[in-house]
Amino acid sequence: MAAHRLSPSLNRLLFAVKYSSLQSRCCAGHCYAHYSTVSSPSEKTFDKILIANRGEIACRVIKTCRKMGIQTVAVHSDVDFSAVHVKMADEAVCVGPAPTNKSYLNMDAIMEAVRATGAQAVHPGYGFLSENKEFAKRLAAENVAFIGPDTHAIMAMGDKIESKLIAKAAEVNTIPGYDGVVKTAEEAVTISQQIGYPVMIKASAGGGGKGMRIAWNDNETREGFRFSSQEAASSFGDDRLLIEKFIDNPRHIEIQVLADKHGNALWLNERECSIQRRNQKVVEEAPSTFLDPETRRAMGEQAVKLAKAVQYSSAGTVEFLVDSKKNFYFLEMNTRLQVEHPITECITGLDLVEQMIRVAKGYHLKYKQEDIPINGWAIESRVYAEDPYKSFGLPSVGRLSQYKEPLNLSNVRVDSGIQEGSDISIYYDPMISKLVTYGATRAEALAKMEDALDNYVIRGVTHNIPLLREIITHPRFISGDITTNFLPEVYPEGFKGLQLGADSRRELLASAAALHVTAQLRSQRLLGDLRVSSAPVELSHWDLVVELEEGKHSVEVTKSGNVYTVEVDGEQVEVSGQWNLASPLLPLSINGTHRMLQYLSRDASGRIDLQYKGTSFKIRVLSKLAAELNSYMPEKVPEDTSSLLRSPMPGTVVAVSVKPGDTVAEGQEICVIEAMKMQNSLTAARGAKVKSVHCKAGETVGEGDLLVELE
Measure the CA–CA gap between 340 and 382, rounded to whole angstroms.
Answer: 9
For 331, 359, 367, 369, the CA distances from 259, given in Å and listed in that order, are 20, 8, 10, 11
| Cis omega (within 30 of 0) for bond into 488 | no
Compute the half-sphere exposure of residue 478: CA atoms within 13 Å on the CB side of its CA: 11
Measure the CA–CA gap between 139 and 326, rounded to whole angstroms.
Answer: 42
Characterize 376-398 residue by residue with b for buried, 16 or more Cβ atoms within 10 angstroms of its Cβ, and e for exposed.
bbbbbbbbbbbbbbbbbbbbbbe
The answer to whether 16 and 23 have CB atoms below 8 angstroms apart is yes
Is there a catalytic annotation at residue 336?
A: yes
The answer to whether 387 and 676 have CB atoms below 8 angstroms apart is no
List CB contacts of 155: < 8 A, sequence separation 6 or more. Answer: 133, 162
| Amino acid code (one letter) for 114 | V
Phi and psi at residue 590, in whole multiples of 5°?
-120, 110
For 26, 29, 59, the CA distances from 87, given in Å and listed in that order, are 11, 17, 10
Active-site entry in 336, 358, 505, 620: 336
Phi and psi at residue 16, in whole multiples of 5°?
-65, -40
List CB contacts of 419: < 8 A, sequence separation 6 or more. Answer: 22, 25, 84, 400, 403
* DSSP secondary structure letter of residue 287: S
Please tell me the total number of residues recorded for the chain in this structure: 711
Q: In the beta sheet, which residues pair with residue 664?
A: 688
Compute the half-sphere exposure of residue 320: CA atoms within 13 Å on the CB side of its CA: 29
- 516: how many CB neighbours lie within 10 A of its CB? 23
Measure the CA–CA gap between 453 and 179, rounded to whole angstroms.
Answer: 43
DSSP-H helix ranges across 144-198: 151-158, 160-169, 185-195
- The packing angle between helices 151-158 and 160-169, to 10°, is 100
The answer to whether 148 and 125 have CB atoms below 8 angstroms apart is no
Characterize 264-283 residue by residue with b for buried, 16 or more Cβ atoms within 10 angstroms of its Cβ, and e for exposed.
bbbbbbbbbbbbbbbbbbbb
DSSP strand E in 89-247: where?
Answer: 91-94, 121-123, 145-146, 199-203, 212-215, 241-245
Q: Which of 238, 246, 253 is nearest to 288 (CA)?
A: 253
Question: Residue 448: enclosing H or E segment and its boundaries?
Answer: helix 442-455
The answer to whether 342 and 350 have CB atoms below 8 angstroms apart is no
Q: In the beta sheet, which residues pair with residue 412?
A: 437
* DSSP secondary structure letter of residue 177: B
For 405, 408, 508, the CA distances from 597, given in Å and listed in that order, are 15, 16, 9
Catalytic residues: 336
